Amino acid sequence: MNTHAAIHVGRRQLGLDDETARDLYEQVTGKRSLRAMTDAERVAVVDELRRRGFKAALNRVRRPLEGRYAKKFQALWIAAWNLGLVKNHDDRALIAFAERQTGISHVRFVHDPADADKVIEALKDWMAREAGVVWKKSEIGELGWRWLHRDGAKIAAAQWKILADAGACPAFGGFGAYVRTLVGDVASFADVTDAQWITVMNGLGTHVRWARRRS
């Protein structure tokens, strides 16, 4: 969990409204805005929230599954988790999902590209149908494609729309401001790397899951 997500989870746990939270930020860092803080200052805010009783879930090390297509399956499964579709992000749930699509008992035994496509397309169709992810270039348009060519960007864009529709976008400004808050200043979205989009997806995932639980 990144510091932004941890702070917002901590605020909810402790029942801090916006004004009370800003008072806390100012007390710890001298600043009332998360966007104005350095990484170290945000860590200090998390430490203060913990001192006041915030219990952060410990991040478990996620061991890669074995198998020719396992990495791709895991990436899509976590994307579905960050879209609020998957309720159990454990690998056992993914293995069971893949078995339902292919009849194969474990993803490490998926060797045929046709079987792999059954799992991949089922997950992509689910995300398109239930979360509005747009996968095809023809459906995005040339202007958007310059940065939406990365799968992580497509997921993040869908996450932001879910939050916007729910009136629950993170309070860091617009989508561009949020992305730059997490990955640093970039000239354009096209310069955001796959690894950085993962950071954005994970950050937004906390907000999406919370918004879906409220709906």
DSSP track, 10-78: HHHHHT--HHHHHHHHHHHHS-S-STTS-HHHHHHHHHHHHHTT--PPPPPP-PPPPSTTHHHHHHHHH
**Sign of CA pseudo-dihedral 71, 76, 78, 79:** positive
With a cut of 90, say whether residue 50 has pLDDT above it: no
| pLDDT tens readout for residues 97-156 | 999 999 999 999 999 999 999 999 999 999 999 999 999 888 887 657 778 889 999 999
With a cut of 60, say whether residue 44 has pLDDT above it: yes
What average pLDDT does range 80-95 have in this prediction?
A: 92
Q: Which residue has the tokens 């009849």?
A: 103
